[in-house]
């Protein structure tokens, strides 16, 4: 199980990777566009901001297999420990197959169904990313889809791992992590929500007050 940050916010990556056990950073064209930077400039900044040698994921914008492969090979040279994200359709699966032969690690993204996931995995993808909230919006059964994907991978492609994406609330995140061998990538806002609980601060304040009442100060 791993937790990734789904963001291009360098300041947040630096802060949260220092505070939390973050395995890496995922991006997509929308996230990159929000940064205002080109990939060649953004990816090295993400690498520098990470408090580890964690994985960095970046997505192609090409749509034909030949162009996807060419773009993926260029992206793969920009930083180390890089995973190329490829939307899973016919052309995407073809590109994943070819990149597997080139030794380039890939993640099959824009996963809405278990059949997409298994084709991506069999083609050689190292990861698949089901879109949790979008599946819930369409069918209401995102976690069932993740469970189905996990079941299929356990039989047919054990080296391929699930990274749930597209979350809107912490409940979805925890439900996804409850599926065996699933990881998640979450936006910065959810990372904060998962750890910021006023009840915890209330408990800490009560401990401090009880200590001070007995010993006079917060010292041993």
Q: pLDDT for 80-123, tens place per residue?
A: 999 999 999 999 999 999 999 999 999 999 999 999 999 999 99
Query: What superfamily in CATH does domain 3-215 come from?
Result: Aldolase class I (3.20.20.70)
Question: How many other CB atoms sit within 10 Å of the CB of residue 123?
Answer: 22
Is 193 an annotated catalytic residue?
A: no
Question: pLDDT at residue 166 above 90?
Answer: yes
Q: What is the pLDDT of residues 15-70, one digit of tens each?
A: 999 999 999 999 999 999 999 999 999 999 999 999 779 999 999 999 999 999 99
Q: How far apart are CA 29 and CA 61, in angstroms?
A: 7
The string over 66-88, giving b where at least 16 C-beta atoms fall within 10 Å of a residue's C-beta and e elsewhere, is eebbebbeebbebbeebbbbbbb
Q: What is the pTM of this model?
A: 0.95
Domain boundaries, the chain: 3-215
Q: What is the pLDDT of residue 20?
A: 95
Query: What tokens does 188 get?
Result: 């910065």
Give the DSSP per-residue string, 17-67.
HHHS---EEE--HHHHHHHT--HHHHHHHHHHHSSSS-EEEEE----SHHH
Question: pLDDT at residue 174 above 90?
Answer: yes
Query: What tokens does 96 get?
Result: 């994943």
Q: How far apart are CA 62 and CA 68, in angstroms?
A: 5
Task: State the catalytic residue, choosing from 34, 38, 74, 85.
Answer: 85
Cβ neighbors of 113 (< 8 A, separation 6 or more) are: 145
Question: pLDDT at residue 144 above 90?
Answer: yes
Question: How many other CB atoms sit within 10 Å of the CB of residue 133?
Answer: 15
Q: How far apart are CA 170 and CA 58, in angstroms?
A: 24
């Amino acid at each position: 199980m791993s937790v990734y940050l789904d963001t291009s916010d360098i300041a947040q990556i630096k802060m949260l990777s220092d505070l939390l056990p973050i395995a890496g950073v995922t991006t997509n064209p929308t996230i990159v566009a929000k940064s205002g930077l080109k990939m060649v400039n953004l990816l090295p900044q993400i690498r520098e901001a990470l408090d580890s040698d964690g994985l960095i994921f970046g997505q192609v914008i090409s749509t034909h297999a030949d162009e996807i492969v060419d773009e993926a090979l260029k992206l793969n040279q920009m930083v180390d420990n890089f995973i190329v994200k490829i939307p899973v359709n016919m052309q995407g699966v073809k590109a994943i197959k070819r990149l597997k032969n080139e030794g380039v690690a890939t993640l099959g993204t824009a996963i809405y169904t278990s059949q997409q996931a298994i084709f991506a995995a069999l083609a050689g993808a190292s990861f698949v990313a089901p879109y949790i909230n979008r599946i819930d919006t369409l069918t209401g059964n995102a976690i069932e889809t993740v469970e189905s994907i996990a079941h299929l991978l356990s039989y047919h492609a054990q080296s391929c791992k699930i990274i749930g994406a597209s979350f809107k609330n912490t409940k979805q995140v925890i439900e996804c992590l409850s599926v065996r061998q699933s990881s998640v990538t979450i936006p910065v806002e959810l990372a904060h929500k998962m750890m910021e609980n006023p009840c915890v601060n209330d408990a800490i304040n009560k401990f401090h007050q009880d200590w001070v009442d007995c010993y006079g100060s917060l010292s041993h």
